[in-house]
Structure 1
Amino acid sequence: MGNPVVPVRRPLLRRWRERLVEGVGVRFDADTRCIVHRPARLHVRELSVERVTRVEAGNRDIAYDRVFLFFHAEGEETLVVSELDKGFDAFVRDLRDVFPGIEAWQRAVPSVAFQLTAVDLWTRAAPGEPAG
């Protein structure tokens, strides 16, 4: 049994600056290997990519189709990122090596209007199985 990876805590001053100065959005912090999502001015959610067990793309019909990425982690609330979040395109580019297949998130948009769709983009392989 291997040693679990302990996530690196991001520096306190950087976290404060993000909460008080930077705008709402999403990004991948390569130094600490964390997804940093800011859905509101003073709300920041961080999730270590090592804790992610599955990445799913899905849509919700509101007035228009909007695609969301769902990052599932064992024992934690699912992190939901919208394609309309600031920095989404760069975020997906940065994570394509970490979660191969994430760049195919557009497949969650159905060809039929008002149809809900969910697509698994990446799943962590069980020990001894190939990644996929």
Structure 2
Amino acid sequence: MQGQQAMQQYQQLQQQIEQVQEYVEQVEQNIEESQETVQAVKQLEDAEEGSEVLAPIGSGVSAITELKETEKVVVNIGSETMKQTDLEGAEKVLQDRQENLKSTKEELDETLDELRSQMQEIQQEIQRQQAEQQEE
């Protein structure tokens, strides 16, 4: 492998690693958010109808609303499809999402390990080539 080509591959691997790391951070945030949502759903079990809650309406804005139902929630089940379910069903959906996210994170961690290994091999090749050039 030529020195220039090795450097280009090294830089490409650096960029790929950065992209995968950003994706890992997003997945970790989604896992954390999902865990928080599970806790919020569990808190609904103790809530009384008519109590006031903050309902997020987007961009960090919430409305003060009154709970009319404490035993059912509406869950996005994918493709912006909403489904009314009991609290136990909502927890199941959220836990399934968490498992999928954790699986995705594991796959991304494996990808990072592979990329880092490739990067290390290229780095060793570059160092070998530099040592050869110095001997000449």
- TM-score when scaled to structure 2? 0.24
Structure of larger gyration radius: 2
- TM-score when scaled to structure 1? 0.24
Could you say which structure has the higher strand fraction? 1
**Structure of higher RCO (CA pairs closer than 8 Å, 6+ residues apart):** 2
Could you say which structure has the higher helix fraction? 2
